[in-house]
Amino acid sequence: MPLKIDYQPYTLHFKFEAGTSRGVLTEKTTWLVKITDEEQPGVEGYGECGPLKGLSIDDIPDFETQLAAVCKLFNGLDLEVFPFNLPIILEQVIPNHLPSVRFGIETALVDYMNGGTRSFFQNAFLRGERGISINGLVWMGSDEFMAEQIEDKLSDGFTTLKMKVGALNFDQECRLLESIRSRFSPDQISLRVDANGAFDSDEVNEKLNRLAEYQLHSIEQPIRSGQPELLTQLSASSPVDIALDEELIGKFDYMEKFSLLKKIQPPYIILKPTLLGGFQHCREWIEIAQRLSIGWWITSALESNIGLNAIAQFAAQYDNSLPQGLGTGNLYQNNITSPLTVHNGCLYYTSANDWDLAPIQSGWITA
């Protein structure tokens, strides 16, 4: 029998008001997909399509309609999946303007091919033999709230902290950075900041010089995307290393990716599989970055544990010593229970903990 895709919306509820440069988040609706075959009862491959509001190119009003159309097309093709035809299915069935759908269906297909066990890549992380070093994310909010988060992350053993900048009072943000740096040297605590494109062109150099006082590891996307000339200048001259994030979104052609990185020559790029169109596109970015001696790390995009698990296993395929951005599993009150745990600044897959898919056993929609 051919493969069949069902989907369902699943609303994740934050444990707190999560402040970002694009507003305060209290919930996030994501879309789960499930792949089955009547001839393989009990084998279910799961994936997650979770466009990020205000950032993903498929954050569109008719997202469900377009997701349903892709599922209907898939279900009408009498498909079987093998490693050799997986890229063909993804390319032919899912348009580029739906990168989160491509990521979700890609992971569901890989999960199905591996027996429906939420196992994507056989590596030491999946076997529970080693963890993945991750950064501790500090959300925007009051001085007290941000200071409390910083203390919690430090007590939890994180040695890399990431803080948003550009949406609150800049002096306030600098005071928080100064409070950390006055206690810990760069050898003890590495500091990353993410501006989400918040700095204007006439102020960016001044602010980068100010941030450099705190001996930061890097700054993500200091200016809004679509300004390659200015980004090229900043990558060459900034006292804080630049990491491209939003700049990569919407780039699917290999040569376009290569030309962008060769021109700008950023010290780092940041890869979000949900926003970039899945693992194959991320592999291309990594290959290009390594050819051009550009550093990189992988980041989740507020997925549930369904998507986060797949991203973590993908990240573990690479020998990358930089802390990854995968510490989002504890954000939600109603996340899917999984073997993912965070301990001493690392993400682990603890086989002693089982998946609990009971919350998503009903509500599936067949297109």
Residue numbers of the domain that contains 16: 4-118+358-366
Q: Establish if 124 belongs to a structural domain.
A: no
* Phi, psi of 304, deg, nearest 5: -70, 180
pLDDT of residue 188: 92
pLDDT of residue 251: 96
Q: Establish if 335 belongs to a structural domain.
A: yes
Cβ count within 10 A of residue 1: 10
* Phi, psi of 270, deg, nearest 5: -120, 130
Whether 47 and 142 share a structural domain: no
pLDDT of residue 329: 84
Whether 31 and 50 share a structural domain: yes
pLDDT of residue 167: 72
pLDDT of residue 22: 66
Whether 218 and 257 share a structural domain: yes
Residue 351 pairs in a beta bridge with none
Whether 166 contacts 21, CB under 8 Å: yes
Whether 8 and 59 share a structural domain: yes
pLDDT of residue 21: 64
CA distances from 39 to 3, 42, 44, 86, 114 (A): 9, 9, 12, 20, 16
Whether 235 and 102 share a structural domain: no
Q: Establish if 317 belongs to a structural domain.
A: yes
Whether 175 and 230 share a structural domain: yes
Residue 292, domain CATH:
3.20.20.120
**What's the average pLDDT block by block, 10 residues per block, for the chain (367 residues)?**
93 84 82 95 96 92 97 94 93 96 98 95 94 92 84 92 86 90 93 92 96 97 94 97 97 97 98 97 98 98 97 97 93 95 95 86 94
Residue 54, domain CATH:
3.30.390.10
Distance CA 316, CA 281 (A): 17
pLDDT of residue 287: 98
**Which residues are known to be catalytic?**
164, 272
